[in-house]
């Protein structure tokens, strides 16, 4: 088994490396027009509208029922595929 040893760098080398990286990696501010376009694309409705959507219990029940039904269909298809194409023991 091979083991790797961590070698320690002298502190002067570390300080030089940190100084170089500090000059190289500086924060960059995005352009204002880019930020404005991004805000226009990512539109979140106000909290009151989200709350009213969650209070609509009929839609919520429909969504939850759809998710559960979809999950059951996927599980059923997966089990059928397993039984049809699964490993068969020939004895």
* Predicted local confidence at residue 2, as pLDDT: 46
Q: pLDDT tens digit string along 61-77?
A: 999 999 999 999 999 99
Q: Is residue 42 part of a domain?
A: no
Per the CB < 8 A criterion, the answer to whether 48 and 42 are in contact is no
Residue 71, classed as helix, strand or coil, is: helix
Q: Is residue 71 part of a domain?
A: yes
Q: Is residue 9 part of a domain?
A: no
Domain coverage including residue 78: 57-86
| Residue where the block lists tokens 């595929």 | 81
Kindly report whether the global pTM for this prediction surpasses the value 0.75.
no
Q: pLDDT tens digit string along 25-54?
A: 778 899 999 999 998 888 888 888 888 877
Structurally, the chain folds into a number of domains equal to 1
Q: Is residue 72 part of a domain?
A: yes
C-alpha–C-alpha distance, residues 85 and 33, integer Å? 56
* Predicted local confidence at residue 18, as pLDDT: 85
């Amino acid at each position: 088994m091979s083991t790797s040893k961590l070698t320690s760098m002298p502190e002067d080398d570390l300080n030089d490396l940190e100084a170089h990286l500090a000059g190289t990696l500086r924060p960059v501010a995005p352009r204002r027009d880019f930020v404005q376009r991004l805000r226009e694309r990512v539109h979140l409705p106000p909290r009151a509208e989200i709350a009213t959507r969650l209070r609509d219990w009929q839609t919520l029940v429909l969504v939850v029922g759809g998710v559960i039904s979809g999950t059951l269909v996927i599980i059923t298809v997966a089990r059928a595929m397993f039984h049809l194409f699964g490993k068969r023991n020939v004895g």
